[in-house]
Amino acid sequence: MKPAAIEGFFATLKAANPTPVTELEYSSVFELLCAVLLSAQATDISVNKATRRLFPVANTPQKILALGQEGLEGYIKTIGLFRSKARHLLQTCQILIERHGGQVPRTREALEALPGVGRKTANVVLNVAFGEATMAVDTHLFRLANRTGLAPGKTPLEVEHKLLQRVPPAYLVDAHHWLVLHGRYVCQARKPLCWQCGVSQFCDFTSKTAPPR
């Protein structure tokens, strides 16, 4: 995808959704960290169902720790890999209390040192909570970046670096949200919904698959 097409691509996404937000439900930076940690290999819908029960009872590191492994599992057992996620979240809460005064740190290094928090999770927290121009490459972003020609790459890290280089600065902070939502609802894995795509005119995939005139 050429620079002019990239500009048009994001200008169109912005016009359709000027202030995109994550679909995970949260009311504090700690709740966001918990939700993103729980969302690995799970849908935002399933995470939201669990946290609607969990957060009214435990929404601080101290309260999560007070639940213990079994108690926490009871709230998140509908989410995939809930046992390991509960263990990681409890370990993370302990570290937040011991090393960060119970607060979520604002640096990538400190975030990635938390159990269950990888680069993608750290990028989401840095972007959503702290407004940093990061690119959390999940399956949707990886697929969309390659399919459209926006930022082709063989690994999520390669795609992340290319996106940071190719997305115009004016769109960088919100780009992650636009791409996730577009990949989730329009540029879907099995069959992209090109006939209802607002940015198909800029897409390399559409130009390759369009019938000859």
Cα separation, 45 vs 42, whole angstroms: 8
| Cα pseudo-dihedral 95, 97, 99, 105, rounded to 10 | 90
For residue 211, name the pLDDT band (cuts at 50, 70, 90). Answer: very low
- 138 has catalytic annotation: yes
Residues of the chain with CATH 1.10.1670.10: 3-20+134-209
Active-site option among 14, 63, 77, 120: 120
The residue-averaged pLDDT of 82-106 equals 96
| 120 tagged catalytic | yes
Largest CA distance in the chain: 66
CB 144 within 8 A of CB 150: yes
Rg, the chain, Cα only: 19
- Residue 207 has a pLDDT of 63
- What's the half-sphere exposure (Cβ side, CA atoms, 13 Å) at 166? 22
Whole-number Å distance between alpha carbons of 26 and 4: 36
- Residue 80, both tokens: 């995939």
Task: Using a pLDDT cut of 90, give the percent of the chain over it.
Answer: 92
Mean pLDDT along residues 40-58:
94
Q: At 93, which amino acid appears?
A: C
The confidence score (pLDDT) of residue 212 equals: 41
Catalytic residue among 14, 138, 154, 191: 138
Q: Is the pLDDT of residue 197 over 90?
A: yes
Specify the pLDDT at position 28.
96
What is the per-residue pLDDT across 137-173, written as a single tens digit (0 to 9) for each?
999 899 999 999 999 999 999 999 999 999 999 999 9
Contact 64, 93 (CB under 8 A): yes
What is the model's pTM?
0.89
CB proximity list for 210: less than 8 A, separation 6 or greater? none
Domain covering 3-20+134-209 in this structure, CATH number: 1.10.1670.10
Mean pLDDT for 85-109 is 96
CB 143 within 8 A of CB 189: yes
Domain with CATH 1.10.340.30 in the chain: 29-128
Q: Which tokens sit at 64?
A: 């999560």
**CA–CA distance, 96 with 105 (Å, rounded to integer):** 8
Domain 29-128: give its CATH superfamily.
Hypothetical protein; domain 2 (1.10.340.30)
Token pair in block for residue 75:
């709230």
Are 96 and 104 in contact by the 8 Å Cβ rule? The answer is yes
End-to-end CA distance of the chain: 22
